[in-house]
C-alpha cells in the first residue's frame, strides 16, 4: 500500500516541478521539445561500440538541471530505476559478441562489453533528458507542443489521457490494497488465489472511475483542446535556445572531444 501511494506522489512531483519559475520553465514548450528530440537522435545515432564520445553529451542534462533548479538526486533516482531493465537487455551482448576490440595492457575487452556500456550510457542520457523535459514542461505542455508541431490531435489527446489515467489506476490500486490489508487483519491475506479477482475488480473500478472523470470533463466544456496554466509564445529567446544548443550538440556529434583532448595531451595533435 505504501509503495503504491509513494508511486503516486512520485509521479505528481514531476508536475509540481514543472510549475517552477525559471527561465527554462518560461520557454515555449516547442523549443524544449525540439532540442530534446535532437539530443536523443544524436545520442542514439552513435556507433554501438562508441563510449568516449558519449560523455560530453552529459553537459546538456547537467546544464538543464542547473538552469531549471531541478533536484539532482531526484532525477538520478528516477533514471536508476530503469537501469536494471536496461542491463537485462544488454547483458547478452558480451555472450554473443566476443571479438576483442580493445587491449588495455593485459586486459582484453570484447566488443560485447563495449556495446554493453554504450547501451547503458545512451539509456541514461535519453531517459534522463525525457525526465528533465517533463520536469521543466509538464506532460500536458509536452502534448500541447507536439500538437503544435504537427502531431494529429487524436494522438496527442490519447497520450494525455494515458498519462492522466495512470493516476486513476494507481489510486484505485492503492484503495484495493488498503482494503485487502484491513480485511486480512495485518496478515498476508488469502494468498495468490485472490490476485486474479482483485485485478478484475480493479479494472472494473478503474473503468467506472474513468467514465465519471470523462463525464465531468464534458460537463466542464472539454472539446479536445489543451488548456495549460502557463501561456507562452515562440519568440526570439526560443530561437536562440534552439540555435545555440543545436549547434553545440551537432559539434559534439561531429567531433569526439575526449579523443581530441587526449591527442593534445599526449602530443598526437588534433
The residue with greater pLDDT, 235 or 65, is: 65
List the domain boundaries for the chain. Answer: 19-137+234-258
pLDDT band at 243 (very low <50, low <70, confident <90, very high): very high
The residue with greater pLDDT, 24 or 104, is: 24
Tens digits of per-residue pLDDT, 76-110? 888 888 778 888 878 888 878 777 777 676 777 77
Mean pLDDT of the region 60-77: 91
Q: Given this model, what pLDDT does residue 2 score?
A: 46
Q: Given this model, what pLDDT does residue 133 score?
A: 93
Mean pLDDT of the region 113-135: 90
Mean pLDDT of the region 30-35: 94
pTM: 0.79
In whole angstroms, give the CA distance from residue 219 to residue 214: 9
Q: Given this model, what pLDDT does residue 187 score?
A: 60
Q: Given this model, what pLDDT does residue 5 score?
A: 53
Mean pLDDT of the region 49-63: 91
Does residue 147 have a pLDDT over 60?
yes
The residue with greater pLDDT, 50 or 61, is: 61
Tens digits of per-residue pLDDT, 190-240? 555 566 677 777 777 777 777 887 788 788 777 766 666 556 678 899 999
pLDDT band at 245 (very low <50, low <70, confident <90, very high): very high
The residue with greater pLDDT, 15 or 135, is: 135
Q: Given this model, what pLDDT does residue 152 score?
A: 85
Mean pLDDT of the region 236-248: 94
**Cβ contact 56:63 at 8 Å:** no
Amino acid at each position: 500500500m505504501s509503495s503504491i501511494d509513494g508511486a503516486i506522489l512520485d509521479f505528481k512531483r514531476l508536475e509540481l516541478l514543472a510549475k517552477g519559475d525559471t527561465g527554462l520553465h518560461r520557454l515555449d514548450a516547442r523549443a524544449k521539445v525540439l532540442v530534446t528530440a535532437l539530443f536523443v537522435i544524436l545520442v542514439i545515432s552513435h556507433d554501438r561500440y562508441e563510449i568516449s564520445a558519449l560523455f560530453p553529451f552529459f553537459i546538456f542534462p547537467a546544464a538543464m538541471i542547473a538552469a531549471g533548479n531541478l533536484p539532482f538526486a531526484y532525477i538520478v533516482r528516477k533514471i536508476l530505476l530503469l537501469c536494471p531493465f536496461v542491463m537485462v537487455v544488454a547483458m547478452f551482448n558480451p555472450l554473443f559478441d566476443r571479438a576483442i576490440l580493445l587491449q588495455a595492457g593485459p586486459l582484453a575487452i570484447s566488443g560485447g562489453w563495449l556495446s554493453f556500456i554504450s547501451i547503458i550510457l545512451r539509456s541514461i542520457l535519453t531517459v534522463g533528458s525525457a525526465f528533465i523535459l517533463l520536469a521543466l514542461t509538464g506532460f500536458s505542455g509536452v502534448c500541447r507542443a507536439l500538437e503544435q508541431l504537427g502531431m494529429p490531435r487524436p494522438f496527442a489527446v490519447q497520450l494525455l489521457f494515458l498519462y492522466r489515467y495512470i493516476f486513476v489506476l494507481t489510486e484505485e490500486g492503492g484503495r484495493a490494497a488498503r482494503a485487502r490489508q484491513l480485511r486480512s487483519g495485518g496478515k498476508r491475506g488469502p494468498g495468490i488465489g485472490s490476485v486474479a479477482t482483485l485485478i478484475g475488480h480493479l479494472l472494473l473500478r478503474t473503468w467506472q472511475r474513468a467514465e465519471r472523470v470523462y463525464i465531468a470533463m464534458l460537463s466542464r466544456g472539454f472539446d479536445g483542446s489543451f488548456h495549460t496554466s502557463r501561456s507562452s509564445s515562440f519568440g526570439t529567446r526560443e530561437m536562440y535556445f534552439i540555435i545555440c544548443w543545436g549547434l553545440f550538440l551537432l559539434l559534439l556529434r561531429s567531433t569526439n572531444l575526449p579523443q581530441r583532448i587526449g591527442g593534445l595531451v599526449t602530443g598526437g595533435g588534433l
